[in-house]
Structure 1
Amino acid sequence: MQKLPLIEQLIDAQLDFLDQSFSNAENVQAEFQQFYLWFRKQTLQDLWSFDQINQLIQKQILATPASAFLIEQIAEHIRFALVHPSNENTKIEDVISVLTIDQIAQYVASKSGHRQRLIKAVVNNPAFSAMITQLIQHSIQDYLDNSVIAKSVPGVSRFMKMGKSVLENVTDTNLDDAIAKYLQKNILKLSQMSESVLNQHFDDEKLYHFQANLWHKIKSMPLAVLKNYIEVQDLPKTVAMGHDIWDHIRQTDYLKQQVHDGVYAWYIRNQQHTFDQLLRDLNIDASLIEHELSHLLNPIIQQLISQDYLRGRARLYLEKFYYSENTLKILNIE
C-alpha cells in the first residue's frame, strides 16, 4: 500500500493528540468516571445472560483442573502463615474477640435439641456399643488381675483367682465370655445410661461453662501453638489430598447441577438489578470504583503510552480508516 503524505500527517497528528490527552492523569480519571457512570446504570440482563455466566463458571472452575503450580503455591502460603515470626508474639486473644467466642459459646450451648439428637445417634451406633463393651470387659479383667487390694493384701489375689475359677466351673463357661454375653444382652440399657449421663454432662449451662473455661486456657497462648497440630512439613501432601477431593467432586454431575441451579437462582433474583446495586452487595461502593481503581489504572495507561503500545495499536486502525475507499473519496484522493 502506497503511503500518502497527507494521510500520514493526519495519522501522526491524531496519534500525537491521543498521546498528549492520555498522558494527563486527570483525563484518564475523567474518562474512567464517565465509563463507570454508564456501567453502573446497566442491568445484569442487559450485558450478560444466565447461559454466559454459567458456561464461564462451569468451564473455568469445574472443567479446568488446578495446576501443579497453584497447588504448590497454596501449600506455600499456608506454610508461610504458620511459620511467620509474628506468631510467636501474637496471642490467640489478639486476633479473636472474646465477644465472638462468647456468642459462639452461647449459640452452641443453646442448641440442646441438636446436641441430644447427636448424642443419641452416637450412643446407638454399633461402633459405640462395641467400644463400651470392650471397655467394660477390659476394666473388669484389669481389676481382677491388677487390683490394688489383691496386690497389697496377702492371699487376696489367690482368692480372687480361685473365685474366678470356681465361678467358671459352676457356670461351665469362661468368665470373659459370660461378661461379654451379659453386656451384649444389656447393651441397650447401657446405651440408654450412656445417653442419659452424656446429656447430664452436656446440658446448656455446663457446655457453656466448658467452652468458657477452654477459652480462658487457650486465649493467652501464642498463635505459634498451631504448629503443634498442623505438620508444616506435610503441607504439600495434605494440600494435595485436599485437592484430590476437590478434583473428583468438581467433575461429578452432582456439583455441576448444584452450580447450575445456584447460579440460575442468583441470576433470576438479580437480573434486573443494576451493576451499581450488585457491587454494593459485594461491599464495593462507587468511591472505591471511581477513585481507587482509576488510580490503579493510570500507571498502566502511562506504560502503554511510554512503550508506544497504544500508539502502535491506534495507528493500525487509523491506517485502515484513512486508506479505506470511503475515506479516500471524502478527502478527494485518488
Structure 2
Amino acid sequence: MSHPAEALLNAQLQFFLQDFKGDALRTHLDIEANAYCDLLETISARDLLSESQVISWIERNILSYSPTDTMREQAVMLVELGLNNPSHQQQPMRQLINKQIYDLMVQRLVERPALRQELIHSALSSPVYTRVLSDVVYHSIVDYLTTDNAIARRVPGFSSLVKVSRNMLGRMGRLDETIEQAIKAYLSRNISATAKFSEQLLDKALNNDAIAQYAELVWPRLEAYQLGQATRHLETQGLSYLAVLYWNQIRQTDYMKQQISLLVQAWFAHAGNMPAMHFLRLMGIERDHIAREVVAVGEPMVNALNDSGYIERRLKEHFARFFDAPETRTLIQDLIGKQV
C-alpha cells in the first residue's frame, strides 16, 4: 500500500473510531436507531422478509435444534436455584395470583358451563373411573353383607344372617364364587348407569353458586399457601429429560411443520403488508422505546468491543481491502498526478 493510501486509511479509521467513544457513541447509536425506525415507517414486514424465508429460518434454527445435555443441565441448575431460594420457599401464593386475578379465573369457569360439563363427562365416563367405581360398589356390597352395622341392626333377623356370612367366610376365605360372579355381573351391566347418575349429581352439585361459594372459602387458604409447598414435589431432572425427549420427537413431525407454515402465513395475511413501525405501535412498542434500548444495550457492548480492539481491527481490515483495490490505487494516483 502506498504512503498516500496508508495515510488516508489511518485518517478514515480514526474518524470512524471517534463515533465509538464517549458521548459520541451514545449520539451515534441514537441516530442510527431513529434512522432504522424511519425506514420501518415506510416498509412492511413483507418487504423485509418473505413468508418462505421466515418459515425456513424457523425450520433451520428452531425445529432443527436438538437441546444438548449441557443446555438442559444449565436450565435445571437455574430452576433448582430459584426453587431452593429461601425467599421462594416462604413466599405466599398471593405473590403470583392476587384476588382480582383469582376472581376473574373463577368467573371464567362459572361463565362456561358447557366446558365444565364436558370435563365432568370426560372424567366420569372414562374406563378408569368406571373400573374404580365398580370396585368401590362391589366392596361396599361385600362389606355390607359381612359387617354388623347400625343399619343392619334395624332389620329383623339381619344380625343372624351376618353371623352366618362370617362363619361361611371364615371357612371359605371369600364369598361363594357363584355369589361373587353374580354381583360382578350385575355391576358390569349397571355400572354405566351408575356412572352417568354420579355425573348428573356432580354436575348439579357444581352449579354456578356452589363454585363461587367454594372459591371464596378456598381463597384465604390459597393466598397464604407458600410457594415452597406448591413446588416441593417438582423433580426438575426428570421433567427436563422428559421435555427434551418430547421436543425431539414433536419437532420432527409433519404436524409441527404444517403448524409453523399455517401460523406464519396467517400472520403475514393479517399484518404483513402494513408498515412495520405501525404494527409495532399496535403492539405497544414506540420508536423512543427502540432507541432507548438500542442505546442501553449497545453502549456497554460497543465499549467492550472497542476496548478489546475488535472494532479497530475489523474496520482496518475492511478499509485495507478498499485501499488495496486496483480501482482505488488508480484513483489515488490520478489525484496525486493532478495535484502535481
TM-score (norm 1): 0.86
Name 2:171's counterpart in structure 1.
none
Percent identity between the two aligned chains? 23
Root mean square deviation, CA, Å = 2.8
Q: Do the aligned residues in 2 keep the contact of 1:82 with 1:226 (CA within 8 Å)?
A: no
Match of 1:10 among 8, 11, 15: 8
Name 1:115's counterpart in structure 2.
116
Question: In structure 2, do the counterparts of structure 1 residues 94 and 324 end up closer, same or farther at CA, with 3 Å as the change threshold?
Answer: closer
Name 1:169's counterpart in structure 2.
none
Name 2:197's counterpart in structure 1.
193
Distance 1:104 1:30 in 2: 43
Name 2:37's counterpart in structure 1.
37
**3-state SS of 1:192 partner:** helix
Distance 1:163 1:309 in 2: 93
Q: Do the aligned residues in 2 keep the contact of 1:105 with 1:212 (CA within 8 Å)?
A: no
Name 2:173's counterpart in structure 1.
none
User: What letter is aligned with 1:97?
Assistant: N
Q: Does 1:184 align with 2:188?
A: yes
Shift of 1:297: 0.6
Distance 2:125 2:34 in 1: 67
Shift of 1:26: 4.1
Gaps of 5+ in 2: 169-175
Q: Do the aligned residues in 2 keep the contact of 1:88 with 1:222 (CA within 8 Å)?
A: yes
Distance 1:105 1:208 in 2: 7
Shift of 1:165: 8.8
Q: Do the aligned residues in 1 keep the contact of 2:145 with 2:165 (CA within 8 Å)?
A: no
Question: In structure 2, do the counterparts of structure 1 residues 304 and 184 end up closer, same or farther at CA, with 3 Å as the change threshold?
Answer: closer
1:8-45 Cα shifts (integer Å, max 9, x gaps) = 11111111212223322344234323432333222111
Shift of 1:80: 1.9
Question: In structure 2, do the counterparts of structure 1 residues 197 and 26 end up closer, same or farther at CA, with 3 Å as the change threshold?
Answer: closer
Q: Do the aligned residues in 2 keep the contact of 1:40 with 1:275 (CA within 8 Å)?
A: yes
Q: Does 1:160 align with 2:162?
A: yes
User: What letter is aligned with 2:50?
Assistant: S
1:125-149 Cα shifts (integer Å, max 9, x gaps) = 3433222221111012123334345
Alignment of 1:299-310 (within 5 A): 299-310=300-311
Name 1:75's counterpart in structure 2.
76
Name 2:227's counterpart in structure 1.
223
Name 2:218's counterpart in structure 1.
214
Question: In structure 2, do the counterparts of structure 1 residues 121 and 213 end up closer, same or farther at CA, with 3 Å as the change threshold?
Answer: same
Count of matched residue positions in the alignment of Structure 1 and Structure 2: 323
Distance 1:223 1:238 in 2: 19
Distance 1:139 1:248 in 2: 45
User: What letter is aligned with 2:6?
Assistant: E
Shift of 1:48: 0.8
Distance 1:156 1:60 in 2: 75
Name 1:288's counterpart in structure 2.
289
Alignment of 1:1-334 (within 5 A): 3-23=1-21, 24-41=24-41, 42-148=43-149, 159-162=161-164, 174-230=178-234, 234-332=235-333
Q: Do the aligned residues in 2 keep the contact of 1:36 with 1:290 (CA within 8 Å)?
A: no
Q: Do the aligned residues in 1 keep the contact of 2:134 with 2:188 (CA within 8 Å)?
A: yes
Question: In structure 2, do the counterparts of structure 1 residues 28 and 201 end up closer, same or farther at CA, with 3 Å as the change threshold?
Answer: same
Gaps of 5+ in 1: 167-171
Shift of 1:245: 1.2
User: What letter is aligned with 1:63?
Assistant: S
Shift of 1:263: 1.0
Distance 1:306 1:32 in 2: 21
